[in-house]
Amino acid sequence: MSIRSKTTAAVASAAAMAFFAGTALAASPGAPGAGDPYFPKYGNGGYDVSHYDIRLNYNPTGDQLSGTTTILAKATQDLTQFNLDFLLKVKSVRVNNVPASFVSDDGELTLTPRGGVRKGQDLTIVVTYADSPSTVKNGNGFTAWTKTPDGALAIGEPEIASWWFPSNDHPTDKATFDVNVAVPTGVEAISNGTFVGQTRQINGYTRWNWRSTKPQATYLTFLTIGQFELRQGTTPSGQPYVNAYSERLGDNADAAKASIERTPEVVEFLSENFGPYPFEAQGGVVTPNLGYALENQTRPTYDTGFFRRGANTYVVAHELGHQWFGDSVSVHHWRDIWLNEGFASYAEFLWSEHVGEGTAQENADFTYDLYPADSEFWNVLPGDPGAGAVFDGAVYDRGALAVHALRVAVGDEKFFEILKTWVAEKKYSDATIEEFIALAERVSGQQLDQLFQTWLFTKGKPAEAPGRSADV
**CA–CA distances in Å: residue 312 to residues 273, 325, 405:** 20, 20, 26
As measured in angstroms, the least distance from the Cβ of 330 to Zn ion is 13
Q: Within positions 323 to 352, which residues make up the interface with ligand ARG, using CB under 6 A?
A: 341
Segment contacting ligand ARG by CB under 6 A, of 80-88, 123-131, 145-153, 293-301: 293-301
Residue closer to Zn ion (CB basis): 184 or 342: 342
- Among Zn ion, ligand ARG, none, partner that 394 touches (CB below 5 to 8 angstroms by kind): none
What is the phi/psi pair of residue 378, to 5°? -80, -5
| 366 near ligand ARG (CB under 6 A) | no
* Residue 303 binds ligand ARG, judged by CB under 6 A: no
Asked if residue 36 binds ligand ARG (CB under 6 A), the reply is no
Residue 157 found at the interface with ligand ARG (CB under 6 A): yes
- The residue (of 131 and 303) whose beta carbon lies closer to ligand ARG is 303
Residue 3 and residue 431: Cα distance in Å, rounded? 64
Least distance in angstroms from the C-beta of 88 to ligand ARG? 20
Which residue's CB is nearer to Zn ion, number 286 or number 448?
286
Least separation, in Å, of the C-beta of 64 and ligand ARG?
A: 25
| 294 interface partner picked from Zn ion, ligand ARG, none, CB below 5 to 8 A per type | ligand ARG
C-alpha distances out from residue 393 to 217, 310, 397, Å: 24, 23, 6
Interface with Zn ion (CB under 5 A): 341, 344
- Per rule CB under 6 A, is residue 405 in the interface with ligand ARG? no
* 154 touches ligand ARG (CB under 6 A): no
Q: Could you tell me which residues come within 8 angstroms of residue 202 by beta carbon, excluding any fewer than 6 positions away?
A: none
The answer to whether 294 contacts ligand ARG (rule: CB under 6 A) is yes
CA distance 423 to 11: 58
Give the C-alpha distances (Å, rounded to integers) separating 461 from 105, 374, 404, 455.
44, 8, 15, 9
**Of the two residues 125 and 339, which places its CB atom closer to ligand ARG in the complex?**
339
**Which of ligand ARG, Zn ion, none does 428 bind, CB closer than 5 to 8 A by kind?**
none
295 near ligand ARG, rule: CB under 6 A? yes
Which of these ranges, 193-201, 291-299, 359-367, 438-446, lies near ligand ARG under the rule CB under 6 A? 291-299
* Cα angle 304, 310, 312; round to 5: 70
Nearer to ligand ARG, 378 or 391 (CB): 391
Q: Which does 257 bind (CB under 5 to 8 A by kind): ligand ARG, Zn ion, none?
A: none
Dihedral sign, CA of 179, 431, 274, 451?
positive
266 binds ligand ARG (CB under 6 A): no
Closer CB to ligand ARG, 371 or 391, in the complex: 391
Strand partners, 153: 146, 224
Q: Does 431 bind ligand ARG (CB under 6 A)?
A: no
Residues that bind ligand ARG (CB under 6 A): 157, 292-295, 318-319, 341, 391
